[in-house]
Each structure stands twice: as structure tokens, then as C-alpha cells.
Structure 1
């Protein structure tokens, strides 16, 4: 209950309690007084115990000192001496007399008669009633005065509270006027002080938040890995070019970091971020001679550079310098390539979709030209093979030329009884002998429906290499796409060619990505079953990325599973990964499946995985990929 209601109620209760106390006090005094009166009467009657006169005479004697409401004397012998006065029930009484009712009756036997009396209390009762009414009036007046004073003080307090509330409402806008000291005085002065301090602190905090907001605005529009502007800023730049004002022209360079997926797979995402940062640093150094250049990270592996007020004939100056930096980084990274560059000119009013299409075409053509290559696409003539079509021709060309080389990366067994293999890594090259990014070649082959032809090329060359090089001993793993493994015509071709060369088929292990195999478990199981029928084994790579990974144990039943590199990275300090690997090893052993750990780069990771009882290990710490010395090469 609010104070404005509870306090008057409290006062009213106090008033009633005091009134009750006054009444009780008056009633007690009256009762004591009348009791004394009755005691005096009984003492006086004791002197008239031998009374022989009439009742009237006795009444005259006693009424001098005692007021009677009722008096009756009855003589035992002579009724003529009897005398009665008043009545036992009072005829006229004050309305409040019942509150002070007293029993003042007395009966006594005299010598020749019987006396019954009842003292009158009218005077004393009226006096008690008057005194009680006077005290009640005083208490009621005091109560009303207290309520009035309280109401006035409460009204003043409410005005001060409303004033304080209005000041608080104005705080977020920092429009608080000077405080009126007369409205927040005495007990409310701490509120005035708090409001003044709050206004001062809020202004300081607003200034700090404004500064933080400016910093966050920069962070939101700045990629944390590369330090370049984000896609939102890139989109705004494209929109400004599409507008007709102000006039502008220049060059746009698209940079595709083609090795990101490979680096992430082999070394983990931290290494992938470091790779992107290094590529960005190469771009940044190449832009030093172009002070107005603007750099953006468009997507996970794509960068864009706008160089305003520069014409196409000056483009090689930037591209050649950037390629030099990329080539230097490639030697450190030891990969097929680092990035590919596509350059297109732009001018005011050019549609964003047209500009991006030309840039994508330029990058796609650059990817077919060799490591860290660039291509300048000035405009689309409509007669040339652009973008993805260029890749279709490139894949046809490398298949026709049988343009493939093999590298190998061994798997180290953890126990002598464990039979493992060496993974064959296919590397493709163009007509000029320059390497093409493997990931892009495979992706483009799948996009153009040429994955089966590409996988046939890989399998055919692997068999040819083993057949023509009898000194190569041991087993070899060959990567094929899940898309091909799910095609009946490819499986039939594979079964036929392996069935004719079972002595070589038994030395092959087909590695297939788990995510692709998950698409169709029935087809995956059929592929494994058909390969087993010709003596070939199957390995599932990048195992553990799917929630249904354990279905492979019961439904697909491969011979090997290669754990995804994310489980290996810093496993010596990761209890969750240790638990997951231990669980996989336990389940795999019950079903006769070998578990191979990949992407091992540190001694601590190797020791930890050995303790977890994996069957084999692969990674740069174990052995780096190296070229295979065949009869042709020697």
C-alpha cells in the first residue's frame, strides 16, 4: 500500500485506539465511583438494621446523602408502613448511557421489614459521556489536523517527485535545465545532487560512446583478417560507379586466393587466415605506387582493388609487381599457386553486374594460364569463350593432352601390423606447362559435368604409372570425386578396368570426401561393395564433419577413415577433440576400420595421436608431398 494511503489509515487506527482507551478509562472511573457510593450506602444501612419506623421516613433519611433510582421498603407486619419510589428500569436515558451501564442495586433485611434499593447513576453517567465526547472531539481534531498536514507535505513531495521524474526523462536528451533548488530541498537535496552528477556523467559517457561508435563503425567496415574494407563498402563503390555523377574512370582488379580451401584442409583455419593476411599484404605492397587505390575483401577468398584515374595501358605496372610478390610468397608457402588476378577497366555509368561479370571472366581465364597469372579483360566482344566456358575448354585440353603429374605424400603406420599407403596427389598443367589450381580444376569439372572424364584420367594414369614402374612398391591412394563414385557408368567402367588388372587393383585405395558420400549412403555403400569385389579398398577423407559420420561404420563400411584436420590441430590441448578421436578409434576397431590422422604439423600432436591409438598419421610433420620418380622421369 502506498504511503499516501497507509499513513492516514495508520493515524485512524491510532485515533480509534486512543478513543477506546479514553472510553475504558472513563468507564473504569465511573464504575469505581459508583461502587464506592454503593459501599457507603451499605455501611449507612448497617446503622438502620433495627429500624421500626415507616418506609417513607427511612427514604427521607437515606435520600439526603444518596440519589435513588428505585427505593422499596416492605414491612413484615404492617403494610401501612410500606413505601416505594421510582422504578427499576430508568424511564429517560441518554442514547450513549448503555455504554456506561452499572449494576447499583442492593437488597437488605431489616428488623421488621425488607429493603430493596438501586442507586441512580444518571449524573455520573452524563458526566462520563460528556468527558468522553470532549476527548473524542479533541482526538478527532488532532487526527484531521495530522491528515491535513500530511496531505500538504505529501502534495509538496509529489510535486518534487514529478519534477525529478521530468528531469530524469530529459536526461537521455541531455536537455536538463538548471535545477530549481526550491523544489529539491532538505531531504530531497541528495536527489538534486545525484541528478547533477548523472547529467555530467551521462554527457561524458555519450562522448565516450560517440568515440567508440566511430571505432566500431570502422571495425564493421574493416575486415579483421586483412584490414581491407568489407563487402558493404565494395557494394557502395560499385553503386557509385553505376551513377552518372561525378565522372570517374579507372581499373578494377579481382584477386582470387585459390589455395584457401587447400590451406584450410591441410593446416587448419588459423593457417588459412594467415594465408589470406599474407595475400592482402602482397596486394597492399603492390598498391604503394597508387596512392588512391582502394582495397576490399569481397568474400572469403576474393579481393577487389579499385585504382582510379588509371588507364589500361598502365595496368601491367601494377599486375607485374603484384605477381612478383605472389611468386615470392608461393616459394615460402610451397603450394601450386597463391592467387590469380583479373583486371577490367571501368568508367562512369557502367552497370555493376556487367563489371563483375567481366572481372569473373578475367579471373577464370587467369586460372588457366598458370600459377599467380593475370588476365586483362578490356571488354566482352561476344565472340570469345569467356569465364566458365574457358574452363570447359581448358579441362577438355588437359584431358586430351593427358596433362597430369603425380606427387606423393606417405602415411606413417603407428604399428608394424598396420598396412597403410601413400596418397597420390594429382597436379594438372596447361599447354604451356604451368600448374593449374587443383581445387579449381576439380570444381569446374563437376560444374561442367566432366568429373567422370577427369576421374578416369586420374585412375588411368595411376594404373599406368604402377604398371610401367614395377620398382614402385606399396599401396597408393587415389582421389576421386563422390559425384563420380555415385554414377553407375563410372563404377561399371572402374570395375571393368580394375577387374582386368587385379594385381594392380589390390594396390589402390580410392579416397573420397565424406561430405560427398553423405549425399547418397546407398550409392556410397554400393561403390564400396563393388570396389571390394575387385580387391580395391576405399578411404573416407575429411571424416568427422557430419553429424551422421558414424553411419559409415554400419552402412558404408570403408577400409580407412582419414580424420578431418580440424581434429588434429592442437589436439594435445583440446580435451573435446581427444574424446572424439578416442571414440572413433574405439568404434572403428570393432568394425575393422583403420583410422588415419591428417594435417599433423607438430611433435606434440603426433605424440598425442599415438597415445590415442590411431593406426596411421599424415601431415607436413610426417612428410611433405614430393614428386614421384618414375621410369619416364628418370
Structure 2
């Protein structure tokens, strides 16, 4: 049973008890008053004990002192003297009080006179009017008090219910993560502890939610923040591009794409740690170049690619950013002896631009910038200036490289780990444009493959390498030359290579051709033919970045290279990585059974060197072993 009903029932019981007590007390008082009235009437009648007259006269005499409801005088001998007034029944008596009907009392009396018999009943209204009035007032007061208390209680309960409803709404709002301040004035009295508890819960929940939000923001930031540069990653960048696609058409801005194109070379020349440091320094250059702008976002969208999105900036203001960035990149390149640091492409955008088209245009701008020289930039001002522009620049640049043979070489030693016999040194190719600036090696090779110029480029590299070795007798030993996997899969190139090497048998025996494993995996039969043809002229073949693709025993059995160079990821932390050690041990065991030498690359620390030596690899290459050195080609 609820509190409201319980209190109402209690009030009803209390007032019922009061009415009952009042009734019992009134009953006694009325009974006493009725007895006194009857006794007084008897005294009056005794005065007429010897009455010999008629009953009507006696009624007139007694009515002066008492009021009768019923009066009957019956003479003993003379019926003509009889007299009757009123009735014993109260029905029809409008003066009869209603309250008098609920009490039991006796106002009757029968008296024997000397010559007659007198029977009377006193009038209730006249005899007990004072008692009835008092009782009516008391009962009315009790009833009014009951109604007043009930009304007051109903009002209080209504307000109490409103406060409870308010408390419930506060709880509901908290469950919906709304934390409006608690109005303590609405939770008073017995609900003060409830209000205090709600305020405590509100403040604690709000604090906890803010803490969770901060933790989520930190986790989101960590998940979508590049640890090397501190910039956001590709996913928020693509979300930003999608937002541009839904902007109003009058909204505009700029997209700058910065390609740290020397990342692969720096990793190979100086190691992975140097590569990370290089990216961090490029990121710092970008960060400094954006100082002074208010609305921009910077992202690292791939291993060596960055993007900057400027909102609501006209194209004419981009020159300041590009000039400042080039100056910073040049300073970094000079202080760290790096030929080229990064290239920048910039395009304007407007609302409703599709992300794919915008990215393609920015990539084209970067491609053009790469052909212009170190740390250069290019702006594509119109949306219709598409890929053909970049294609033209790269085709022209690569044709010029091939025709004018503008390349240089570095060499890096591969140290034997099981004997003191030198294995070979790898030749690292550098490409130079018309202005004498070094172009990004990775981009040149990728673009040559893209435009079908890879065989001509590889032929030029091989020719220049042979010329360098012929013209420099001091360069002894064997050298590794990198050629494209796409070239070795073409019979015409393989036949040309076989013919040119067959004419220089002694020189051919000093050449080890390094080919990427992933490319060789695409056509095992062609790869096997290439290895066989090279063996015929005395040259050898090394499979580089081994283990990065889908390596199988079939590759060992059918292709049979002379060397396999493990991808540098297997050297990274190998002293702590059981999986890497197991894989390397398995490869070494299989390779030795079929007389293939295994070389580890990317060795940057002493712990890695010692662990790899214990695994019985044949050679080690990396920044810790030997740094690349420039080779001057004799004219």
C-alpha cells in the first residue's frame, strides 16, 4: 500500500475513533439529560395528584413547564374528561432533529393520579436541543478538521509527487547523458538526501563521462595519429575529402601533397632509424611552413606521402607556403647531405569535388614536381589539367635520362658472416635530370614501368655499370645490379642481356643481378629462364626483398637463384622475435641444401648482427655493416 493511501486510512481511522468517542460521550450526556427532564416532569405532575378536572385543562397547566410530544389523560370514571395530544411516533414531525434519531434515550412516563392515569412523552427537540446543538457543532468541527487535513495532505502529496517526478526526470536525464544542474529548491524536506545524492551522482557521472571522453579522444588520437610525425593518418584524411565532396560549391581551399620520395633510398643507405628521422624532419618542415595559417589540417597518408588541406584560402596565397617549405627542405637537405628531400604538388578545390579526382590531380602535380628537381613544387590551377600533363613530364624526363645516360652509382658492402671471403657489393643507382638535380630513384623506376620504358632504363643501367667496371680497374670483386622484374619477364631484354654479357665473359662473372621476389613470383617459368640464361654467361642472380611476397618451396626448386636477400623486416628486432628467427632458420636450412646463399639486409644494430650470425647466414648488409659510398664513373 502506498504512503498516500496509508496516511488517508490512518486519518479516517483517527477521525472515526474521535466520532465514536464523541458519540459515546454524547450518548451518556443525552441519557442523563433525559432522566433529569423526566424527573422534573414527574415533580410537576405530582402537584396535580388530586386533579379532578378534565385532561385538556391539565395539559394547559403542565405545558407551561414542559413540552410534550405525546400527552394522554384518561379519567377513571368519566370518559368525557379524557384528553389526548400528539403521537408516540416521531414520523411527520419536522421539528425532530436528525441527530436525535441516532441516539437511544427514554422520555416516556406514566403516572397514576388519584382519579386518572396520565401518560406522557417529552419533546426531544425542546428537552435536548442544547445537547443536540453542542453535539452537532462538535461533529461538524471534527468533520471539517478531517476534510481540512485531508485537503492539506492531498496538496502536500501532490507537491511531493511533483518532487519525486522531478527526481525521476533528473535520473532519466542522467541516463541520457544530460547533466543539467539539480534544483535543490525542488527537493526539500525528506527529499533533501535524495537531492544531495542526485547532485553527487550527477557530478561524479559527469566527471567520469568527461574522463571517458578524454580517454576515447586519446585512444582515437593514438589510433589515427602517426607516431613518427604526430600527424593524422589516412583515414581522417579520406573523411576530410568526403566532407569536401559535400561542401557547398562556393566553399573552396587548397590541397597540397608532399612526397618524401627519398625514404626508400635513405632506409637503404642509412637504415630504418634514419628513415624515421628523415620523415620526422620533413614533418617538422611542413609544420613550420604552415605557421601563420589558421585553418589547415596535416596528414601522413602513406609511408612517405603527406597532405595539407587549407580551408578558405585563395590560390595566390599558396606561393608563400610553397616557397617557405622549399627553403626549409633545402636547409634540411644541406645539413644532412641529402640530395632531395621532398616534392610538393598543389591543387585548388571547391565544394562538390570528388575525392578520387582531387587525389589524382594532386598526384599529377607531385609527379610534375619530381621531374623539376630536388624539393621543387608544382601547381595545377585548373581542374581540367589532368594526368596527361604529368605523363608528358615523366616520359620526357625518362627519355632524357636514357638518351643522355645521366646516372651515378653508389656501392654498399655485403659482409660475409661465415668466412672472410667477400660476397659482393651492391650498386645503388642515382638519376640526374637536365638541370643536374637528383631525381627520386623509386619514382623514376615506378614511372618507367608505368610508361613501358623499364627495359630501356634497365638496359642503360646495365650498360653504364659495365662501362664503369671496365673503366675502373681498381673496382675489384663482384657487384650487384638492380633491374626491374618486369624486364626479366620479357624475352627480348633477356636475349639482349645474354648477348652483351657473352661478349664480356670475365666482366659478366662479376655481375649479380638483383630482382624483386614479388615480381619474379608472377611468372615462375620466365624467372627460371632468366636465371638459366644468366648462368650460361657466368652471371648470378639474387632475389631481393625475399619473404615479403608469397614464398614457396616451388620457388626454390624451379627458379634456383644464387642468392636470396631477406627483406629488412626480418632483421628488425630479430633477437627478440621468435617467429622471425624460426623463419630465417628454416630458409637458411632449405637454401643450404640446394646451395643458395642467404643474405640478411637492414642490419642496423649489433644485437641483430650477432643473432643473424648465430643463424648461420652467409652475408649481412645494412647501415651497421657498411655505409654506401659514391663511385665516380671514368669518362
Match of 1:595 in 2: 598
Match of residue 326, structure 2, among 323, 326, 331: 323
Kindly indicate whether residue 344 of structure 2 is the aligned counterpart of residue 341 of structure 1: yes
Equivalent positions of 1:201-220 (< 5 A) are 205-219=208-222
Match of residue 604, structure 1, among 581, 589, 607: 607
Match of 2:382 in 1: 379
Task: Quote how far apart the aligned CAs of 1:480 are.
Answer: 0.6
Match of 1:228 in 2: 231
Identify the range of structure 1 (462-471 vs 430-439) with the bigger mean alpha-carbon deviation.
462-471
Match of residue 517, structure 1, among 501, 507, 520: 520
Task: Quote how far apart the aligned CAs of 1:281 are.
Answer: 1.9
- Structure 2: distance between partners of 1:513 and 1:500: 26
- Structure 2: distance between partners of 1:343 and 1:174: 44
Equivalent positions of 1:45-124 (< 5 A) are none
Match of residue 579, structure 1, among 560, 578, 582: 582
- Structure 1: distance between partners of 2:589 and 2:453: 39
Match of 2:393 in 1: 390
Kindly indicate whether residue 535 of structure 2 is the aligned counterpart of residue 532 of structure 1: yes
Kindly indicate whether residue 368 of structure 2 is the aligned counterpart of residue 365 of structure 1: yes
Asked if 2 retains the 8 angstrom alpha-carbon contact of 1:268 and 1:569, the reply is no
Distance verdict in 2 for CA 1:326–1:195, change over 3 Å: same
| Unpaired segments ≥5 residues, structure 1 | 1-167, 178-193
- Structure 1: distance between partners of 2:349 and 2:174: 51
Q: SS at the partner of 2:565? A: strand
Match of 1:18 in 2: none
Task: Quote how far apart the aligned CAs of 1:564 are.
Answer: 1.3
Match of 1:58 in 2: none
Distance verdict in 2 for CA 1:541–1:210, change over 3 Å: closer
Match of residue 503, structure 1, among 484, 503, 506: 506
Task: Quote how far apart the aligned CAs of 1:303 are.
Answer: 1.9
Task: Quote how far apart the aligned CAs of 1:269 are.
Answer: 6.3
Q: SS at the partner of 1:442? A: helix
Kindly indicate whether residue 427 of structure 2 is the aligned counterpart of residue 424 of structure 1: yes
Match of residue 489, structure 2, among 486, 498, 514: 486
Match of residue 282, structure 1, among 256, 273, 285: 285
Kindly indicate whether residue 305 of structure 2 is the aligned counterpart of residue 305 of structure 1: no
- Structure 1: distance between partners of 2:306 and 2:422: 44
Q: SS at the partner of 1:405? A: strand
TM-score under structure 1 length normalisation: 0.64
Identify the range of structure 1 (408-417 vs 349-358) with the bigger mean alpha-carbon deviation.
349-358
| Unpaired segments ≥5 residues, structure 2 | 1-170, 183-196
How well do the aligned residues superpose, as a CA RMSD in angstroms?
A: 3.9
Kindly indicate whether residue 497 of structure 2 is the aligned counterpart of residue 477 of structure 1: no
Deviations 1:133-176 (A, max 9, x none): xxxxxxxxxxxxxxxxxxxxxxxxxxxxxxxxxxx99996589x
Q: SS at the partner of 1:572? A: coil
Distance verdict in 2 for CA 1:275–1:528, change over 3 Å: same
Equivalent positions of 1:435-474 (< 5 A) are 435-474=438-477
TM-score under structure 2 length normalisation: 0.64
Asked if 2 retains the 8 angstrom alpha-carbon contact of 1:268 and 1:565, the reply is no
Question: Greater Rg, structure 1 or structure 2?
Answer: 2
- Structure 1: distance between partners of 2:630 and 2:481: 15
Distance verdict in 2 for CA 1:384–1:455, change over 3 Å: closer
- Structure 2: distance between partners of 1:422 and 1:618: 9
Match of 2:572 in 1: 569
Kindly indicate whether residue 620 of structure 2 is the aligned counterpart of residue 623 of structure 1: no
Distance verdict in 2 for CA 1:598–1:335, change over 3 Å: farther
